[in-house]
Structure 1
Amino acid sequence: MRFGEISALKWQNVDFKLGVIKVRETLVRGEEGRPKTPGSIRDIKMLPPVAEAIRNQRKHTMGKSNYVFLNQKGRPLLPNSINYHIWKPALKRAGLKPMSLYQTRHTFATLMLDAGELPGWVQQMMGHQTLKMILERYYSYIKNYQRDDGSAFMDNVYKPSVKDNAPELPNEDMNKAYGKSKSA
């Protein structure tokens, strides 16, 4: 989520039964409004660590406000305050170089794609209207996309039953391609 989407998140848009966060608003420079683009209005699947964190957050802010995340004064979060008082000190204590809080979105996209998640799913989760941003910004960082051997097709599309039922072939390379060995 973008920081403004996190700041504007209200408890009514957290659905534990469906396991989604409904992004419907954003909070930018103290003004609440519609998200950045029509594609930004979306339902985000809560992965288990997110669901756990939101359940823990419920103990601190539910009943105090409509907003999920509040500052120490009980008001919605502001990016500059979080950036200077929490984010940058945390990076420094962790021994990491200074970076924008927005970089967490890039980290999410890169980690998801590198783990093999479909680009279209990542696009939807991030609220991009097209795959263009995903492909232009993140593709080169994805080590799993660097293979060029056709193994994904063979493993996921070409029917494993065809491999098992394939006749013994005279060509040793073809036998390897079908997963056969001389002893099989």
Structure 2
Amino acid sequence: MISSVRFPILIVLSVMLLACSYEQQYIRHDQIQARARYVAVLPMVNLSSYPHAGRIVGDILTTELYAQSGFHLMEQSLVISRLRQNALEIDDALDKTEVLDAARELGVDTVIYGSVSEYRYKRGLNEDPVVGVNLRMIDAKSKKVLWAGSKSKTGGCFWFCEDSLNRLAQEVCNDLVAEMVAQ
């Protein structure tokens, strides 16, 4: 009797966990060739109401790229200083022309840019973290988008545990980078 009750409960819990995430991607794996790319990660545009969410997620994304990809990454502080030095306002860069201008100024052949659409705690019984990230990888020479991905995820735990925005952002960035560099 107890096992017949557990099975429906496990199915309901599984469906609830799977319903807390959404992901969409566009990939040109044959053109990415990780080891040959010199990549700049531009500052992420913060579309959320959380202060500095773009900077937080951008730093996490860069760490995940170092850990998982074979890309030769331009150091983030160098990216920011060169953009400021050349008077490029790239803080809100979602326009392809601005991104290509930044790539030319930085001397890289690939740029990763995007936005943070959600970075907050969702109100309810528990305050579960919610993170949404949108990324694009563009080749500066061909001006083609090589990869694009979006992922939105709700964290949360049952009963005696806590979940944080930072941990969830790490998970979202980890998943996006894993898909970006998968062969």
> Normalising to structure 1: TM-score of the pair?
0.22
Which structure: larger Rg? Answer: 1
Instruction: Name the one with the larger helix percent.
Output: 1
> Normalising to structure 2: TM-score of the pair?
0.22
